[in-house]
A and B are shown apart, each in its own frame.
Chain A
């Protein structure tokens, strides 16, 4: 499901030690949540890593009842769109207690466990 590339390896390395990072374009200042070679806004190739606080708000979520083949989490778990405090929106997983999830709830990055690389996991803040 995930094959890190030279472009994305440092993102996955950081996540493995509990750090959620993005990249900021040094030419125009735009921050992107996912590593890309070129700035989405101005096309410049020069980027620097920025570390996110790991905190955000649930924009939407869905509780998945059937474990996807080969997935590292067992159903039920939630897939969520999380608006990070820094402004970016990302897709993430929310394992564990999913019955009380609500849109607008505050969440924070949690440990993704040993099955790296895997998408960021969040928990209630």
Chain B
């Protein structure tokens, strides 16, 4: 029961806390991570025949491959569905490798979300596009779209904002153990609730940091992985693309994870009770709450209790976002690669002070745009 592939190399680029000086373009960070990941795998650039990436202009695989010096790729994929893209790339790489389109796939990310923060951030730069005319025109934004979901969730379950704050507090406890994290000092519920209101019900500490950073993984068929240093196996992976605008989301408290999670677990032959560690996309505190419920780890309306009880924090039974998350570690605008990298690091036993004991099975879930797209990956220490 598996997706048939293994992650044989994995690495972060330098991570800004929040910015990195002297980095000119995001390609540099993606390249840095890629070269480190290839070295980790004991491979050379010339071994790469598949490339999956986005965020580098209109023809991302051409731009990035050219920058890295890759000039003969039999499989390329620049799917961009937002932050979940890098988890989706595992699924696409698995399909490409299984069908013989490539043997060694590089999945790469880099972004200068902090250093470029004053440049106009125009994902949708054409004012004729429906997303601008009928969505952004209302004053909507990423933070507001997710705030709409949070507001609905709190109302539906008769909860207060401390339910959201519990996610930030728990995640910050992990960041304290990560030397690369932007914010490491402990915070309390009160700290979150008294931080400036951004878009109700979100306060500043309900929102992710903004960082320069990048990461990469190298993927091959599982059978080819046994000679590498520390292969991690992809036991299951599933993606879904749904709506674009939050206005087209039928129920703001049920995300595509409700479908991708069970599909990925079924592929892996595992149940939620088999999962030792969760990496849940956390651009905003509402996201891990909804994901925990959609993925089958909490009864609807009760996810916050897991965060508030210490279960998800260091020492707890269900560790969540052990790198300090997008909320406290780093967030480059599209965070998906970081969910994979921390899962891999923990499964390899290389997480240092924040190492969770006996991690055999980890789940990484990425979210894109406005809960628009999602992908869940199940990673295991040994092949299944």
Question: Which of A's residues lie within 8 Å of B, judged by CB?
Answer: 1-5, 8, 34, 36, 59-66, 68, 71, 73, 77, 79-81, 89-93, 103, 117-120
Contact of B139 among A5, A90, A103, A119 (CB under 8 A): A119
Q: Which of B183-202 contact A (CB under 8 A)?
A: 196-202
Contact A71 B252 (CB under 8 A): no
Q: Does B353 contact A (CB under 8 A)?
A: no
22 cross-chain CB contacts under 8 A = A2-B132, A2-B137, A3-B127, A3-B132, A8-B133, A34-B133, A59-B252, A60-B148, A61-B148, A63-B200, A64-B144, A64-B199, A66-B198, A68-B141, A71-B139, A79-B139, A79-B140, A79-B144, A91-B140, A92-B138, A103-B152, A118-B137
Which of B136, B197, B247 is A81 in contact with, Cβ under 8 Å? B247
Place the interface of chain B in its size category.
20 to 34
Chain B 192-222 against A: per-residue CB contact (8 Å), 1 yes, 0 no? 0000111111100000000000000000000
Contact A60 B199 (CB under 8 A): no
A63 touches B199 (CB 8 A): yes
Task: Decide: A1 and B247 in contact? CB cutoff 8 A.
Answer: no
Check B134 for interface membership: any CB of A closer than 8 A.
yes
Cross-chain contact A34 with B148 (CB below 8 angstroms): no
- Having A4-B128, A79-B140, A79-B148, one finds 9 other A-B pairs with CB under 8 Å, namely A2-B132, A3-B127, A8-B133, A34-B133, A79-B139, A79-B144, A80-B138, A81-B247, A103-B155
Sorted nearest first, the 5 A-B pairs with minimum C-beta distance are A3-B127, A62-B147, A119-B138, A119-B137, A63-B200
B246 within 8 A of A: yes
Please give me the residue from chain B that is nearest to A98 by CB atom. B200
Residues of B within 8 A of A90 (CB): 134, 247
- Complex contact A1–B136 (CB within 8 A): yes
Instruction: Please determine whether B133 and A2 come into contact, CB atoms closer than 8 angstroms.
Output: yes
How many A-B residue contacts, CB cutoff 8 Å? 94
Known contacts A59-B152, A64-B199; A34 and B136 CB within 8 A of each other: no
Q: Of A68, A73, A103, which one neighbours B151 at CB under 8 angstroms?
A: A103
Name the distance in Å between B285's Cβ and chain A's nearest Cβ.
Answer: 14
CB distance from A34 to the nearest CB of B (A): 5
Q: Which residues of A contact B42 (CB under 8 A)?
A: none
CB–CB A93/B138 < 8 A: yes
Which among A34, A61, A80, A93 is the interface contact of B134 at CB below 8 angstroms? A34
Which residues on A sit within 8 Å (CB–CB) of B137? 1-2, 117-119
Cβ A2 vs Cβ B127 within 8 A: yes
Q: Smallest Cβ distance from B321 to chain A, in angstroms?
A: 24
- CB-defined contacts of B139 to chain A, threshold 8 Å: 64, 68, 71, 73, 77, 79, 93, 119
A104 and B134 CA atoms in complex are apart in Å by: 22
Minimum CB distance partner of B196 in chain A: A65
Partner of B247, one of A8, A91, A103: A91
B130 on interface, CB distance cutoff 8 Å: yes
Q: Does B149 contact A (CB under 8 A)?
A: yes
The answer to whether B135 has its CB under 8 Å from any CB of chain A is yes
**Is B245 engaged at the interface, CB distance under 8 Å to the other chain?**
yes
Query: A6's closest neighbor in chain B, by CB?
Result: B128
Q: Which of A4, A60, A90, A119 has the most CB of B within 10 A?
A: A60
Kindly state the separation between the CA atoms of A97 and B149 in the bound complex, as whole angstroms: 21
Report the bound CA distance from A90 to B247 in whole Å: 6
Q: How far does the Cβ of A68 sit from chain B's closest Cβ, in whole Å?
A: 6
Within 8 A of A (CB), among B137-190: 137-141, 144, 147-149, 151-152, 155
B155 to chain A, nearest CB (A): 5
Chain B residues whose CB sits within 8 angstroms of the CB of A119 once the complex forms:
134, 137-139
Using A34-B130, A65-B198, A81-B247 as known contacts, say yes or no to A60 and B136 having CB atoms under 8 A apart: no
A79–B201 alpha-carbon span in the complex (Å):
12
Contact B151 A62 (CB under 8 A): yes
CA gap between A111 and B199 in the complex, in Å: 24
Q: How far is the CB of B201 from chain A (nearest CB, A)?
A: 8
Q: A62-B148, A79-B148 are in contact. Are A91 and B245 (CB under 8 A)?
A: yes
CB distance from B29 to the nearest CB of A (A): 27
For B118-131 the 0/1 string (1 means CB < 8 A from A) is 00000000111010
In the complex, which residues of chain B have a beta carbon less than 8 angstroms from the beta carbon of A60?
A: 148-149, 151-152, 155, 252
Q: Please, how many angstroms separate the alpha-carbon atoms of A117 and B128 in the complex?
A: 12
Smallest distance from the beta carbon of A48 to chain B beta carbons, Å?
19
Within 8 Å CB of A77, what residues of B? Answer: 139
B138: contacting residue among A3, A59, A89, A91, CB under 8 A: A91
Nearest-Cβ distance from residue A53 to partner chain B, whole angstroms? 19
Greatest chain B CB density within 10 A among A8, A117, A119 is at A119
